[in-house]
Structure 1
Amino acid sequence: LALVSTLPDESSDDEELNKAIIASMDAEKVPSQEILLELSSKIITKRQCRFNINRSAVWEGAMRGFQRVSYDPNLMISVKFSDDMGRNEEGIDLGGPRREFLTTAMETIARSAMFEGKENSKNFALDSTALREDRYYNAGRAIAVSLVHGGPPPNFLSPTVFSLLVDGSANPAVGDIADPELLEKVKKVSESTTVEELEESKAPLLEYLANAGCLRPVQSIRDRELLVQDIVTFQVVHRVQGPFQRFCEGLKTLGVLEKIRRHPDSFKPLFCYEASLLTADQMDNLFSIRLSPEGSNKRTAEEMVVIFWRDYLQDAEEEEGPSKLHKILAFATGASVVPPIGFSPTPSVEFIHKGEDDYASTPLFPMANTCVNCIRLPLHVSYEVFKDKFDFALGNTHGFGRS
């Protein structure tokens, strides 16, 4: 016996009308990128809101920025990092620092006490401090801003949470319970085969059942499934209605929640985990290569390094899989995944020649300008040296070879 839980939101007539509208509008799936580009086109690019961020305390800086009286999500985000010693890093944010900030913010939200459960399928947790400080609202707002301002998707919420976001209904499973002690007790209830066993397994839960509003006499074993579903629904849905509603309010920023409800199939892959399929070939195709004029001495040297670049991508995939490719992407763009809205400008590969940038000889390490999504490669004549120096640069990303 399955019981669908519905959160009270609007009247039943309005709810049915909304569902009909959603169904008709989502009959033909619209790419999420198209939807987000439409929302981002309304951003005022000539005005900025500044976020001052320390990498060791990203969420604290994000909260200060979002709660500032002058903050307006319709304005461009400008991020300025300081290192752990407090020294200002060089460069004005034209994209890369913003993507890095939003990437770290999404990772921090996923790990926070506001959510609980499996690593890539989390539900809301009840955190009194987060409620008091309105962090759930700011988490929803940060996710909306990330999607529209070119950051990554959250990609960690459970299908149960996403279903609640879409129309307020969900059918959570026993596995959605994050509390291990409660989970074991509920499992014993679900495994009962007689009324006596059911009464015995229910006994340790009497106080919980009273608080949840589902304490009632058991008349037959058929009451077991209803009891289990009542417990799960209370624990996963009704217990956290406060956090959920504040999160939804934040997610309304820039019209994102409205679009989610109109196009759930388009947005579900952005909110619910899907394994990354990033490959060396995809990375190669993502970056445009800017070569010197054909027939020039510079062109000859560059074409050799292009081979090194592609070999490096292949070796990265074979040795460590997608994880290292994500690091390379982050080194060049500030984003470890391709943002749902895409990159602007298109990522590119350039080359550093002797005599350029005050280099009297071949520079040792690759350089990255995340503001324009550009990686600049030194013209080594040995692949082993190229690989070694690139690995070093990747391992020392913050404050090294980045602008």
Structure 2
Amino acid sequence: MRDLSDLSSDDEDFNLAITASLETEQAQATLTQNVSVKEILLELAENISPNNRFKFNLNRSAVLDGAFRGFKRATYNPNVTMNIKFSDDLGRNEEAVDFGGPKREFLRLLMETLAMSPMFERSHSSQNLALDIPAIREDHYFLAGRAMAVSLVHGGSPPTFLSKTLFDCLVGGSHTAKPVLQDIADTDIYNHMKKVSESSTYDDLLAATRQMQDYLANAGCLRPLRNFEDKEQLVHDILMFQVVHRVQAPYQRFQEGLKTLGVLEKLQKHPESFRLLFCHHESTPTAEAMEDLFSILLSDQGSNRRRAEEAVVSFWRDYLQDAEDEEGPSKLFKFLVLPLERLQFRP
């Protein structure tokens, strides 16, 4: 092999071109991952027609049913503006009264009721898909995915309750899943699996699996354990069955629903940008962090309205700081029912 010093000038130019190309690709990849999710959602929202509207007639005690009923209507189009009318509001169209308040309330309640629906099962503080036959029959998993996509693009609340395992499946496919013990929501199965996982001897492993014979047979994981080293593969196979393979039909329809308005495509392209919107995470909000959630639109510089708006902005920041100082994060969490969209201050 030639030494680098023996390369011809053409070879050197070729090498430099390759290096420059790789550096450009790496820079572009980094830029892609750092795209603000707010910018992505605003870009997707540009396709929503402000001149056309679709009306949802809802009752607050049955928001999920009302939403699914609307999504199923032949005239439903996710690319048009939503008009929300609650049945317990004396027949008034709140959308025309408070400039989107009912819509934000609807989307917030929709995400909350989805999290509590039988389509999802809670494992610790996050949720995976559950196997619910009526929901499969009614194609509710597709509608659940559509609901999340619509809420994000129409300026509503994010879901923020999915497990890391489910989110990673959406990004890279179910074959890339790496479920963990904490993903198991069924208490009995979790306790049995914990004994299997924590067994430290071959005899302990046999004793732990002996209590799960019927389950292992149904899961396709019943096989002779020849030595203690078989434990790792057994645990992996059981986790894949319980968390991933068992709910493949719901997962595929849920994924299809998330394609609404191009959300799934953007999620797969910018996974880290979307992760905080989909996955549960422990965080402590601060007044400064709350300020960064909003883009303030001000009138022209020098106008009387601009001076009044600047005063309102100062009052808003004082209010956030007072809320943090007096009541802490619990008070600031209440502001998160608002969407991450532009907030217009009016004097």
- Which TM-score applies when normalising by structure 1? 0.70
Determine whether 1:67 maps to 2:69: no
* Partner in structure 2 of residue 348 of structure 1: 345
Q: CA deviation digits over 1:329-380, x for unaligned, max 9? A: 4xxxxx61442xx22xx33153xxxxxxxxxxxxxxxxxxxxxxxxxxxxxx
* Partner in structure 1 of residue 198 of structure 2: 191
* Partner in structure 2 of residue 273 of structure 1: 280
Instruction: State the alpha-carbon separation in 2 of the partners of residues 138 and 201 from structure 1.
Output: 40
**In angstroms, what is the RMSD of aligned CA positions?**
2.9
Instruction: State the alpha-carbon separation in 2 of the partners of residues 181 and 68 from structure 1.
Output: 41
Matches within 5 A, 1:238-387: 238-281=245-288, 286=294, 293=304, 312-327=319-334, 329=335, 336-339=337-340, 342-343=341-342, 346-350=343-347
Matches within 5 A, 1:173-252: 173-252=180-259
* Partner in structure 2 of residue 391 of structure 1: none
* Partner in structure 2 of residue 135 of structure 1: 140
Instruction: State the alpha-carbon separation in 2 of the partners of residues 311 and 32 from structure 1.
Output: 27
Question: CA offset at residue 289 of structure 1?
Answer: 8.8
* Partner in structure 1 of residue 167 of structure 2: 162
Cα 1:263/1:313, change in 2 over 3 Å: closer
Structure 2 gaps, min length 5: 1-25
Instruction: State the alpha-carbon separation in 2 of the partners of residues 293 and 254 from structure 1.
Output: 40
Question: CA offset at residue 322 of structure 1?
Answer: 3.1
Q: Which amino acid aligns with 1:251?
A: L
Q: Which amino acid aligns with 1:336?
A: V
Assess if the C-alpha contact under 8 Å between 2:64 and 2:110 holds in 1: yes
Cα 1:96/1:175, change in 2 over 3 Å: same
Assess if the C-alpha contact under 8 Å between 2:123 and 2:182 holds in 1: no
Single out whichever of 112-121 and 148-157 deviates more from structure 2: 112-121
Assess if the C-alpha contact under 8 Å between 1:289 and 1:349 holds in 2: no
Instruction: State the alpha-carbon separation in 2 of the partners of residues 77 and 113 from structure 1.
Output: 26
Structure 1 gaps, min length 5: 1-22, 330-334, 351-403
- Which TM-score applies when normalising by structure 2? 0.80
**Percent of aligned pairs with the same residue?**
52
Among 92, 99, 105, the residue aligned to 2:95: 92
Q: Which amino acid aligns with 2:95?
A: I
* Aligned length, in residue pairs: 310
Matches within 5 A, 1:13-92: 26-28=29-31, 29=33, 30-83=35-88, 87-89=90-92, 91-92=94-95
Assess if the C-alpha contact under 8 Å between 1:26 and 1:263 holds in 2: no
Q: Which amino acid aligns with 1:57?
A: A
Which aligned segments of 4 or more residues in structure 1 are displaced greater than 4 angstroms? 23-26, 281-290, 305-312
Q: CA deviation digits over 1:21-68, x for unaligned, max 9? A: xx9974422221222222111112211110112222211111111111
